Amino acid sequence: MTQGIDDEHAKSQQKHERLVLFILSAVQFTTIVDFMIVMPLGPQLMRTLDIGPAEFGLIVSSYTFAAGASGLVASAIVDRFARRTTFLILYAGFLIGTLLCAVAPTYHTLVAARIATGGFGGILGGMAMTIIGDVFPEERRGRATGSLMSGFALASVAGVPLGLFLGTNFGWHVPFYALVLGGIPVLILTPFAMPPLNSHIHQVHAHPLRSLVETFSFPNHLNAFVLMIALMIGSFTVFPYVSTFFVANVGMTEQQLPVIYVVGGILTLFAAPIVGRITDQFGKLTIYRIIAPVSAVLLLTITHLPRVPVAVAVIVFGALMVSNVGRMIAAMAMITGSVEPHRRGGFMSANSSVQHIACGVGSYLGGVIITESADGRIEHFGTVGWIAALSTLATLWLAGRVQRFEQAPVKAQKISLAAAAEASVDASEPILAVTEEG
């Protein structure tokens, strides 16, 4: 009898987990397409808005810098509210920002709209990982992370090619309209499909500024943040400019660009769940250290490609996408497990902030280094590839410094910012002292 009740409870729990994962994946899909679609539209945006690589880099990085700034604010207060409520507000703001991108008439208004979109959308990724950490136990977290990362693959297979088709044939504004229309049903469904996830709000929380300082005071948190910075520099110095490089140097046409995203997305769609399973089985750090060097080699390969057949370019890009997503699955599973559950919302928001700021730095750095010759060719992309590859190889050591929160020393080491935080906090506000128990 007891066994039957336990089995029913397990089935109900798994059904609940699948429903939550579906909502998170759907939102992940729309946010990823919104962020990614700008990159393959690069040749068209540079042509129609009459801008160069540096200005285009700012379109990409403006989203990420805004996401980084809002993530810092969110990290200080997000654990005070129910996850579902926060998730809904962020997604609604994201859809409004995307609508502003759709109606933007000029380069400067598009940059402003990307800032608005990033301010909301950038936090959603961290909130999704927070919900994964709250809902899924450690032994199933790698698989759940892999499934969530499949949203990247689906975005590449369906979202980005469709967006490119709409942008190429009807103008770059149209993909943003399509994203808003596709996101509204998910927004309406979320209150009915996702539980409140509010058990954490009954705990006593520090003053917001103190919470922010504490998040950046734990050595294990800092190790995770440094790993994330190196990961993003190892990606976003390169990825925003691949489409432009393929068109200008490798010999592809703008109409052929969707092919690389379809093939890369299909490969990633199959690979992401497999990587998620093997990280649970063989260890997240072990799998990370296998995949990351492959990614470094492919970053060098793609940034040094000569004029080659389209099939070769597609294969190289597809392999790079698989390795990039694979290393992110292992890394994010490690990072999510490095923080105590009651701090997870603030930590993951801060991590999302660090991630997006690093993306912005990488994108802008790539745009500054890359130049466009008189005949339209992209120059110095190989230099960018070396920077990305070296940053990726550095993560092999950095990943080993990130520990599970049960294994890491939990005593926060006060940093100089703590004194400033204490001085700025009103004496009437309750402040939690940092103790040996965290």
pLDDT digits (tens, 9 = 90+) for 242-277: 988 998 899 888 888 888 888 887 888 788 778 888
**Kind and range of the H or E run holding 378:** strand 378-379
Reduced to 3 DSSP states, what percent helix, strand and coil does the chain have, rounded to the nearest 5? 80, 0, 20
371 beta partners: 379
Q: Which residue has the higher pLDDT, 161 or 379?
A: 379
Rounded Cα distance between 44 and 268, Å, is 26
Over 90: is that where the pLDDT of 98 sits?
A: yes
pLDDT given at position 413: 39
pLDDT of 215:
73
Picking from 143, 145, 142, 111, the residue whose alpha carbon sits closest to that of residue 125 is: 145
* pLDDT beyond 80 at 172: yes
- Does the model's pTM come out above 0.85? no
CA distances from 146 to 90, 95, 327 (A): 23, 25, 11
pLDDT at 234 over 50: yes
In this prediction, residue 421 has a pLDDT band, given cuts at 50, 70 and 90, of: very low
Statement: residue 298 has pLDDT above 50: yes
d(CA 127, CA 90): 9
pLDDT mean over 56-76: 80
Whether 316 shows a pLDDT value over 90: the answer reads yes
Q: Using alpha carbons, select from 351, 292, 352, 289 the residue that is nearest to residue 322.
A: 292
pLDDT at site 29: 84
Q: What is the pLDDT of residue 61?
A: 83
Inform me whether the pLDDT recorded for 231 exceeds 90.
yes
Cα separation, 65 vs 81, whole angstroms: 24
Range picked from 35-44, 244-253, 354-363 for highest mean pLDDT: 244-253
The mean per-residue pLDDT over the stretch 415-429 comes to: 37
Nearest to 300 by CA among 363, 358, 360, 237: 237
Q: Percent of the chain at pLDDT above 90?
A: 25
Alpha helices, H only, 217-256:
219-236, 242-245
Residue 332 has pLDDT above 70, yes or no: yes
Range of weakest confidence among 136-145, 201-210, 407-416: 407-416
Domain coordinates in residue numbering, the chain = 16-424
Q: What's the CATH number of domain 16-424, 1.10.3720.10, 1.20.1250.20, 3.30.390.50, 3.40.50.880?
A: 1.20.1250.20
Whether the predicted pLDDT of 420 surpasses 60:
no
Instruction: Give 11's pLDDT tier (boundaries 50, 70, 90).
Output: low
Q: How confident is the model at residue 314 (pLDDT cuts 50, 70, 90)?
A: very high
Residues of the chain above pLDDT 70, percent: 79
Model confidence at 437, in pLDDT bands (50, 70, 90)?
very low
